[in-house]
Amino acid sequence: MSGHPLDIRRIPGSWVGKGPYFLLALAILAADQWTKALVEAHFFLHTGIEVIPGFFQLSHVRNTGVAFGIFASQDGTASPALVAFTILALGAVLLYLRLVPLGERRLLGAVGLLLGGAAGNLLDRLAAGAVTDFLDVSIGSHHWPAFNVADSAITVGIGLLILDTFLGRPAATEDSPTDASGETP
């Protein structure tokens, strides 16, 4: 029945076939929440252990802002505007996931990473008013702000989006099978 004009696989913006990217987002969300729970259970706030001397430590800090503490509140709680913005951003990422053609695996992977990372940090903001960060990197006197699994997924997702922008789409060859929408199955 795949040749029928009402075949859902031919409708632009379908969820069909995007399950693996939702699973990627769910895996990121689960890993993020699990690692944050471990840190919260085993480290007092503002303490940590050095893993690689002079380079990497695990620490427990709370961030009420966004990346690197930007827009952090002074009262230790998440700003309602920041929570609302994050919810709107998640909605935009979901819409984009729906619109990306199924054959665009790199782009879909990037969106899955963004979705999982944004959901992980939003869940923290809603539940605790702040995000737990614990990955702490420094080189000499240069210190990078602490981050977490969700932040890492978001960063890699953005990197893949940029890569996709510059590399573009692989050109279909005459040997590549395509369906009526031009997507490679």
Neighbouring C-alpha atoms within 13 Å toward the C-beta of 21: 26
Neighbours of 122 (CB within 10 A): 20
Nearest Cα neighbor of 75 from 88, 64, 91 is: 64
Cα-to-chain-centroid distance, residue 115: 5
Which structure tokens are listed for 142?
């240069």
Q: In what order do the strands lie in the sheet with 56-63?
A: 48-52, 56-63, 131-139, 142-143
For the record, the structure tokens of 43 come out as 């480290």
CA distance 113 to 26: 9
133 is catalytic: yes
| Chain length of the chain | 185
Q: What is the C-alpha to C-alpha distance for residues 87 and 68, in angstroms, rounded to an integer?
A: 19
Which residue among 32, 133, 175, 179 is the active-site one? 133
The one catalytic residue in 32, 124, 136, 151 is 151
179 catalytic? Reply is no
- Which pair of tokens denotes residue 25? 């987002």
Active site amino acids:
133, 151
